[in-house]
Amino acid sequence: MILSLEQLTITNKETRLVDHVSLSIKDGEWFALVGQSGSGKSLLSHSIGQISSPNLKVNGKILFKGKDLLTFTQKEMRRIRGKEIAYIFQDYQSSFTPFRTIGQHLDEYQKAHGILDKKERLQNSIHSLHFVGLEDALYNRYPFQLSGGQLQRVSIASALLLSPDLIIADEITTALDSVSGHHVLELLASKQKETGCTILFITHDWRHVRRYADRLAIMKDGNIVEKGSKHRILDHPSHQYTKELISAAPFLGKGLPSGLEERQTK
């Protein structure tokens, strides 16, 4: 297991937002965490990289490659974030400083992780932009000169720069149209196939769960109510909440929309 959460609890003063969650994610799998807004999905994912609000208290264990991240200092976590664990956020536009070029963003990201050779950083940046289908010219452009879809691709390029072992993708298709969202997820699937990385996919969209996930967990009110293989849960859900979520996605009984055929899973 690359990641195991053991009795993870997140509280805000007296309010318990995530309640004794335990789950494990295997090396190289695409694991989906599914639930409606406010279920605690993003809170849980943020706690993994210790990027939660300082007002929140996190207890339990977060074992990454066998080491409990909750015992790490912020300095130690900064070495891990980006290099071993990378995030792709729904609000990708806030990740960019308006008056710094895309190239400057990618360059500084690499320097922060100890890549000191300027030529190597440039080659890495261009390669990563090419991987997500962007041209060299975007390297010298500013964020406000790019479309939303292009910026989301740059955020993915940045997350993939250092070939992390775990990519946490938090509702990354929410602000995109269906075609752009499909292309973005295909990029992630391609990178996973190329490098064998693990993906923790935070979503409420069953179309993407059905196409990409290997296993999944259903979250409601800060609790995991059901977890297992994609096919077991889609075909034979056991929890009433899971049944309600699936019944609210009528296409699941009719096959996927054109162009979204199910991906071959492990």
Give the model's pLDDT for residue 250. Answer: 61
Average pLDDT over residues 19-26: 96
| Residue 149 pLDDT exceeds 90 | no
- CATH code, residues 3-253: 3.40.50.300
- Model confidence pLDDT, tens digit, residues 49-84: 999 888 999 999 999 999 999 999 999 998 899 889
| Residue 92 pLDDT exceeds 50 | yes
Structural contact between residues 196 and 28, judged by C-beta atoms closer than 8 angstroms: yes
Distant-in-sequence, close-in-space partners of 87: CB < 8 Å, separation ≥ 6: 45, 49, 51, 81, 159, 167, 168, 169, 170
Structural contact between residues 72 and 33, judged by C-beta atoms closer than 8 angstroms: no
Mean pLDDT for the chain?
89
- Model confidence pLDDT, tens digit, residues 154-197: 988 998 898 899 999 998 887 677 777 788 899 899 889 988 99
* C-alpha to C-alpha distances, 196 to 93, 96, 193, nearest whole angstrom: 28, 28, 6
Give the model's pLDDT for residue 264. Answer: 54
Amino acid at 251: F
Give the model's pLDDT for residue 256. Answer: 43
| Residue 225 pLDDT exceeds 90 | yes
Q: How confident is the model at residue 252 (pLDDT cuts 50, 70, 90)?
A: low
Give the model's pLDDT for residue 255. Answer: 43
Percentage of the residues of the chain whose pLDDT score is greater than 90: 63
d(CA 94, CA 214): 30
Handedness of CA 16, 49, 263, 261 (dihedral sign): positive
Segments making up each domain of the chain, as ranges = 3-253
